[in-house]
Amino acid sequence: MAPAATSEHTPLDPFDLPEGHPFGAHNLPYGVFSPAGQEPRVGVRLGDHVLDAGAVAAALGSPYGTLLARPNLNPLLAAGRTAWSDVRRALTGWVTVPAHRETVRAHLHPLDSVALHLPFEVADYVDFYASENHASNLGRLFRPDEEPLKPNWKHLPVGYHGRAGTVVVSGTDVVRPSGQRKAPSDPAPVFGPSVRLDIETEVGYVVGTPSAQGTSVPLAGYRDHVFGICLLNDWSARDIQNWETVPLGPHLGKSFATSVSAWITPLDALDAARVAAPERTVPLLPYLDDSAPDAEPAGYDLRITVSLNGEVVSEPPFSGMYWTGAQMLAHMTVNGASLRTGDLYGSGTISGTEENERGSLIEMTWNGTRPLKLSDGVERGFLEDGDVVTLSAWAPGPGGTRVGLGEVTGRIVPAPVAP
């Protein structure tokens, strides 16, 4: 649970938001909140407020009260695409039809008066590696004598399972992990707090509708199974990861914490942001081939900002991702692996072609050799204790509006002293 914000500014009138406000009635992302001293429940963000969705549904005699008056989003996620659309239509009506205004107002809470919680119980967590620029940068850094991309990279979205139990909501402190590391010059591994703690700027996809083991979900099943997206920071201890990673991939370098934004933006709020994926440079097998002229675009034009201690250090563009969320889902299930409500999968680090579009410090600083120059002469190769990293984003909305995705933020706290 993230502590309630402490700023005391006067929240905007939710029924008179400035034009184009990123959390207007065109957005309505879902989260879980608790007013002081009360139990967590599902909320919907409107401007600087959160609407108690189950309470307003009950007050208005809506049949969706039972889906919404819950401590997390899982029942809504499990209800499926038709219910998601119906509930969103109902919510849109409640917050826009003047006759409901006083009822809605009675169930609004200023955002800075509530605590925000992990919005859903995470079932399985898979992390992909879908940015060609990121995968190429890491290839150049770690395997300078080889082709930057492995031979499989353009044939399938490479991914691996992460630790679902350490996914935390934005605002949760991240304890610096300890572990083994070994530089090539070290005669043996040493143990201690990571000295190369990094971020990974990602988008997370939240699965609602489950699927049966032994079946697969085609590309066209994406919108039936995926409820929405969030921002995701896949904190990474590069030194721990580098030593452990052969031959079975990352483990403790990642498993200590993964942060997600408090707000899940439904796919239905992102229609205006959809973009086609980049042209493929190798032919895809049919189950991944999204080149049909009538295929729905499954990429998103998200404008992401990465801040370190309040200074913007990068603006990675999501629209250039090689693999889409629909392809990741089709690949993840093509072997018959089932989906469960609450499954989360991440895009992998988002990096653009430019130096100021990279989504991890290891890329921004080229493995620490070119430290970031922050204000007041401060430099950063990797994260120091006390550093605060914030990812925020918006997407183009209908009629020139913006759809806010909120933020995912976390502060690094020191490793515990070894016993």
Under rule CB under 8 A, residue 178 binds a copy of itself: yes
Cα–Cα distance for residue pair 83/257, rounded to 1 Å: 32
> Of the candidates 33, 120, 256, 318, which one interacts with a copy of itself according to CB under 8 A?
256
Q: List binders of a copy of itself among 96-135 (CB under 8 A).
A: 123-124, 126, 129
Query: Does residue 112 have a known ligand-binding role?
Result: no
HSE value, Cβ hemisphere, 13 Å, CA-based, for 172: 22
Closest CA to 82 of 220, 219, 224, 205: 224
Q: In whole angstroms, give the CA distance from residue 181 to residue 151.
A: 28
Shortest Å, Cβ 152 to a copy of itself? 6
49 catalytically annotated:
no
Is 129 assigned to a binding site?
yes
Query: Can you say how many angstroms the Cα of residue 375 is from the centroid of all Cα atoms in its chain?
Result: 28
Amino acid of residue 240: I
**Token digits for 318?**
């999501």
Residue tagged active-site, from 134, 155, 225, 331: 134
Residue 187 touches a copy of itself, criterion: CB under 8 A: no
CA-based R_g, the chain, Å = 21
Residue 248 touching a copy of itself (CB under 8 A): yes
State yes or no: residue 79 binds a copy of itself (CB under 8 A): no
Does the protein bind a copy of itself through residue 148 (CB under 8 A)? no
Q: Is 306 in the site for a copy of itself (CB under 8 A)?
A: no
- Between 4 and 175, CB nearer to a copy of itself: 175
Confirm or reject binding of residue 353 to a copy of itself (CB under 8 A). Answer: no
Residue whose CB is less far from a copy of itself, 48 or 343: 343
H or E element that contains 174: strand 174-175
3-state secondary structure of 346: strand
C-alpha 111/C-alpha 77 separation (Å) is 23
Between CA 329 and CA 163 the distance in angstroms is 18
Distance CA(228)–CA(232), nearest Å, equals 13
SS3 131: coil
**Which range of residues in 35-43, 53-61, 280-288, 296-304 is near a copy of itself by CB under 8 A?**
280-288
* Cβ 246 to a copy of itself shortest distance, Å: 5
Q: Are residues 285 and 291 in contact, defined by beta-carbon separation less than 8 angstroms?
A: no
Instruction: Note whether 220 binds a copy of itself by CB under 8 A.
Output: no
In this structure, what token pair is assigned to residue 137?
A: 């940068």
User: Is position 152 an interface residue for a copy of itself (rule: CB under 8 A)?
Assistant: yes
**Residue 241 CB, nearest approach to a copy of itself (Å):** 10
Which one of 31, 162, 208, 352 is in contact with a copy of itself (CB under 8 A)? Answer: 162
Contact 306, 393 (CB under 8 A): no
CB of 376 to a copy of itself, least distance (A): 30
Determine if 158 is a binding residue for a copy of itself (CB under 8 A): yes
Q: Which one-letter amino acid corresponds to residue 14? A: P
Alpha-carbon distance of 258 to 200, in angstroms, equals 9
Stretch that binds a copy of itself, among 95-103, 174-182, 223-231, 375-383 (CB under 8 A): 174-182
List the catalytic residues. Answer: 134
Q: Which residues bind a copy of itself (CB under 8 A)?
A: 123-124, 126, 129, 150-152, 155-156, 158-166, 168, 175, 177-180, 182, 188-189, 191, 213-216, 218, 237, 240, 243-253, 255-257, 282-283, 285-287, 331-332, 334-340, 343, 415-416, 419
